[in-house]
Structure 1
């Protein structure tokens, strides 16, 4: 009955993972093919955790630490971004298909040096179009506070399109399942204005935007489309309240 749903908070089951000292979880997702969680850590571990069996297996390790893990909609591929600014795409059997830099580096730059501040453990998101033919990333532009959206082709990892550098907030990016729009958040503090939600097309061009109608100090921490692509949810944090 209705009262049964309001008796108390939902019970959460906690599964501890045995990590190295000072290592932390930076990203995780559910793999349909494995019926398990794939977990990435700041030290670069890729862990496969079976919730039912309480078993954890190390399936890989990447240099620079894991920033984001994102399986394709069909579950056949897994995209990973690293703290060295690299993009890796592998099969669900952990075979590497290709690896490339999120941003072109000038001559003389050591790709083994982390491209992100040491305190920033999360970032470099990956979001897939609903049919899995393309995916998009958000990456730092070298020597700039701006970020660039890039759209990649699933087969071969060629860059399909990229946006102009823009002051985008955090590591927030979500592709509408129908494929029409890619949602991100524009940071407008420099203009003394609140953040705005901005929509990009697959060709990297900005289509439209709208302000979130919150105070200037507001930050958007998450954007998520629903499965039918007609609703976009946002988690907004302000100085006095969250919404």
Structure 2
């Protein structure tokens, strides 16, 4: 939940070691909060995460703790269970001609586990979830106004941002050339499949993967904010 007047904060990476966090709940600005060591969300499940000790109100702190337990289960159990069936289906597809029903069941089972993980994670995600933004630092959204004022007063390097910053590892030309290479390779795979005696499912999968990669890289080559999937208002 986002309190009225709440703001988003960007904590630069260089300011993290000496960060001073005021004892006001980031959710509503109340005193006497509950402190939780909160990992910063990252792009990968097994990525090394920075941790911030953040003050929350009691109800939100309970949700954050449940999310931490859920994330541990995902890493240890649910994510391996969601990836093993597609790998087994791929092995069956390459090594045998049959087992079509088994392959379908394996893929459906993996999709079901992935969907459950996604919905469970969404239910346990609080608005004030810190997120690592590449080398820019940590984005902390929806900090209550009283708490935000204390953050800014105690940490001069912290600043208010209007939206989540976007960080790109490489320059736009690198992404453009990479997108072109993926697209050209995908067309080559498609052409090779058309010329061959058999247009296999593996060829289709490779073409779709390369095409998707080309689209993603092309989007990354654009200025941040050019393509949006949410309401900018």
TM score, norm. by length of structure 2: 0.24
Please identify which structure carries the higher strand content: 1
**Structure with the higher fraction of residues in helix conformation:** 2
Please say which structure displays the higher CA radius of gyration.
2
* Structure number with higher relative contact order (C-alpha < 8 Å, ≥ 6 residues apart): 2
